[in-house]
Amino acid sequence: MTSVETVTHNGVDITYDPNEELDFASELSTSARHTQRVDLVWKDLTLSVPVKVKRNKKSKTEGSKLPDAALPPEEEQAQRRKTILKGISGEARAGTMLAVMGSSGAGKTSLLNLLAGRVSTSKGAKASGSVFLNGEARNYNKFRKLAAYVLQDDDMFAELTVEEQLTYAALLRLPSSMPREKKLMRVQKIIQELGLGKVKDTMIGSHIVRGISGGERKRVNIGTELVTNPSLLFLDEPTTGLDSFNALNVMTALRQLALNGRTIISTIHQPRSSIFALFDQLCLLSEGRVMYFGPAKDAVTYFSALNFRSPSQFNPADFFLDLLSVDPRSAEREANTKARVEYIGDKYAAQATPIAAEAQGVPDMEAAAVEEENDSNDKVQLRETMFQTNWFNEFRVLCTRAMKLAFRERAANGARLGQVIFFSILLGLIWLNNGRKESLPERQSLAGVLFFIVINQSFGGVFAVIFGFPLERSVVTRERASNMYRTSSYFLSKTATDLPKTLFFNTLFSIIVYWMVGFKETAAAFFIFVLIIFLTSVLSESLAIAVSIMTGDAQTAAGIIPVFIILALLFGGFFIESGELDGWISWAKYLSFIFYAFNALGHNEFPGRPHGEKILQTFNNLTITENILVLFAILIIFRLIGYLFLKFLRGPKFLKLESE
């Protein structure tokens, strides 16, 4: 190999040798080898889902006497099954990296999800085959503690620093029996192992908040899953969205993890040649079948033996994808490429040797995946239960994290603060001192400002959720899939930490608008006013959260939620007085939270005021306390609906193999 001439600049050696091999041995010395070694073997994995195919009426069974119009509805659609994975077998041994490659739709992510136990359940989906860990059939209770899954999307809270993100993951995912000091030590080891020391105090960031680079963000995502020291690490296209340099850094870090004894399985799409060289094993998929499984360095030779030779100076990964992709640009190309894929798949199936399920030089399965090394050689075991820490610790940690995020959301807080100040001053100027005037028209106009206040607080609470909750929901979905915490501890912590912020903004709004308009000047009336609009705002937030969880889509929620608010507004008692709404639709007002909020404000303001008794005739007959209690009851109902939707409708549900 030709030596590279040394280049210096300002006395600094800036020589670059693209052929230089990474010195993994020196890197390995900085990290302890204390991971339980696990071999993973899978045999005959098959995954299929039902698909509905519309039939052409003219293609009904030949000889049928029925006219087209007489075809029963069930004949219009035939439910067929689409086989995504077709008898996949393979292995991933301890201390190695396996790359799962293939074109889009080849089944890469489906295979990864099936191996990781992360295939989402869908009606009619079926999975069969066997998965073995160290020669034993997979037990999900043990597997859950041994494995970690890194999603393709790096959904994390932008306002947390790198160290805080990893610390909260450790506090929630490591057992209560493990001392806090050891948990924090583990975080520092992960930071060192992934090369995040220089950015540990930097916020993760987003497209709004400036933060770390894409490669560093991906390593933080990986580190979040490493806090339990998993023996198996699954990654779904970890280089997506990264430039080639950052992609190499991420994959080099993963190679380091494999050298520490972990088993790494990763889907990857068109890696650069230096990244491809990091993998020990290669699994090539096409059309749901295995095209090649074996040492990555032998793949080019294997295909050459089949008379498919890679051009010289050509990236092997690009060659494999070109060779194994179906070209749909024309019917002829599609037929030819499908035939080639079928030929290669048949050739591999004919020569593939059965894979032994037994572990190769790996100790028997143990009940724990996490061990913390220290002078006394203590072992800290993950619990057999689904969650590693108790409910109260989850609640405490989640509250701490939520409060920190609430104070750091500068853009959202600034926007809401500006909205509160603007509308409170605007309303105050429009109805300036109206409450201090005693004529009937001015007194009646107060009902208008009270109703507008209710509307303003309702929409303010809704938009706060619409624009802020989608990202939080995606993070929570990921964390719940990893069994980081219970749904109840998260939901109650969110409720507890949202209330102070909502109370602050509503109190500020009240202080400005209440005295500018000139409402009843007593302390009791003022605090009741604050309580009512606070309940109204929290109630609208609860409605928005429930709808957002139900729809699972921010755009859909943004279209549906205002409909609920407008319906509540129409029956709120201002446009149509409660006594005038009768007949078949009279019951609708009792479902409107705006109706109770508006009436509570009216009963708080008008008694004992000039013309007050006359104006009160347009309000309902409930007392202030009764209206507030109804508001509180509706609030509880909306929160409960949101919790049930989150737990059962949007909860993580994964498909198991038929043998499991």
pLDDT band of residue 505 (cuts 50, 70, 90) is very high
pLDDT band of residue 435 (cuts 50, 70, 90) is confident
- Number of helical (H) and strand (E) elements in the chain, helices listed first: 20, 12
SS (H, E, C) 60-112: CCCCCCCCHHHCCHHHCEEEEEEEEEEEEEEEECCCCEEEEEECCCCCHHHHH
| Structural domains of the chain, ranges and CATH numbers in brackets | 40-48+79-359 (3.40.50.300), 389-649 (no CATH)
The SS3 assignment for 284 reads strand
Residues 8-19 pLDDT 10s: 766 676 666 665
Tell the burial category of 481 from Cβ atoms under 10 Å away from its Cβ (0-12, 13-18, 19+): middle
- Side-chain-facing half-sphere of 452: CA atoms under 13 Å: 14
What confidence score (pLDDT) does residue 615 get?
Answer: 82
Which amino acid is residue 125, in one-letter code?
Answer: A
| Residue 158 CB partners (closer than 8 Å, separation 6+) | 203, 204, 205, 206, 208, 209, 211, 471
Mean pLDDT of 547-575: 85
Which amino acid is residue 515, in one-letter code?
Answer: W
pLDDT band of residue 495 (cuts 50, 70, 90) is very high
Q: Is pLDDT of 291 > 60?
A: yes
Residue 463 structure tokens: 């938009």
What confidence score (pLDDT) does residue 207 get?
Answer: 79
Following DSSP, what letter does each residue of 100-153 receive, concatenated? EEESTTSSHHHHHHHHHT-PBP-TT-EEEEEEEETTEE--HHHHHHHEEEE-SS
Asked if residue 291 lies in contact with residue 340, where contact means CB atoms within 8 angstroms, the answer is: no
SS (H, E, C) 564-598: HHHHHHHCCCCCCCCCCCCHHHHHHHHHCHHHHHH
- Side-chain-facing half-sphere of 127: CA atoms under 13 Å: 24
Asked if residue 252 lies in contact with residue 260, where contact means CB atoms within 8 angstroms, the answer is: no
Q: How far is CA 504 from the centre of its chain?
A: 29
Following DSSP, what letter does each residue of 446-474 receive, concatenated? HHHHHHHHHHHHHHHHHHHHHHHHHHHHH
Asked if residue 178 lies in contact with residue 372, where contact means CB atoms within 8 angstroms, the answer is: yes
Residues 152-211 pLDDT 10s: 888 899 999 999 999 999 999 999 889 999 999 999 999 998 889 999 999 999 877 789
Mean pLDDT of 533-557: 90
Q: Is pLDDT of 148 > 60?
A: yes
Nearest to 389 by CA among 490, 493, 497, 486: 486
| Residue 43 CB partners (closer than 8 Å, separation 6+) | 89, 129, 130, 131, 132, 355, 357
Cα 503-473-105 angle, rounded to 5 deg: 165
The torsion of the CA quartet 119, 123, 126, 131, rounded to 10 degrees, works out to: 30
Q: Is pLDDT of 443 > 90?
A: no
pLDDT band of residue 361 (cuts 50, 70, 90) is low
Residue 343 structure tokens: 């030929």
Mean pLDDT of 215-222: 92
Tell the burial category of 355 from Cβ atoms under 10 Å away from its Cβ (0-12, 13-18, 19+): middle
What confidence score (pLDDT) does residue 286 get?
Answer: 94
Q: Pick from 76-85, 96-105, 329-338, 554-563 the range whose average pLDDT is largest.
A: 96-105
What confidence score (pLDDT) does residue 558 get?
Answer: 84
pLDDT band of residue 95 (cuts 50, 70, 90) is very high
